[in-house]
Amino acid sequence: MTDSTSRSSAEHHQLRFVDRHIGPDADAVATMLGVIGVDSLEELAAKALPAGILDALTGAGLAPGLDELAAPASEEQSLAELRALADTNTVAVSMIGQGYFDTLTPAVLRRNILENPA
């Protein structure tokens, strides 16, 4: 595989990632709404959900709090953030199956779980 083929494949993957994870475009939404028989997503939500659980929209057309969200991150930024978070994990030694010492198993547990599991 040449570098140009590799590059175009990577560029295609980046474009497809956005398409796969952002949701339908305006044409797809219009098609879906036409099949369902409603004129807008708001009408669909009003018909599908009880009024008591719907959020009132702000002047910008957003539910309260959505305007306070951080800007969306790219795939690379998301992976870097996840890697940084994973790096803060503590790697511990698993003691499962190694036996535990200086512990007391209450008699009720010994009797009902270990000695008579049936």
Domain boundaries, the chain: 3-90
pLDDT band at 84; cut points 50, 70, 90: very high
The pLDDT value given to residue 99: 67
State the angle between helix axes of 26-36 and 41-48 in degrees (0 to 180), rounded to the nearest 10.
Answer: 40
pLDDT at 30: 94
Q: What is the mean pLDDT of residues 10-34?
A: 77
Pick the closest to residue 24 from 35, 12, 34, 32 (CA basis).
Answer: 32
Q: Which has the closest alpha carbon to 33: 49, 53, 48?
A: 48
Q: How confident is the model at residue 38 (pLDDT cuts 50, 70, 90)?
A: very high
The answer to whether the pTM exceeds 0.75 is: no
Q: What percent of the chain is modeled with pLDDT above 70?
A: 78
* Model confidence at 12: pLDDT above 90: no
Q: What is the pLDDT of residue 3?
A: 47
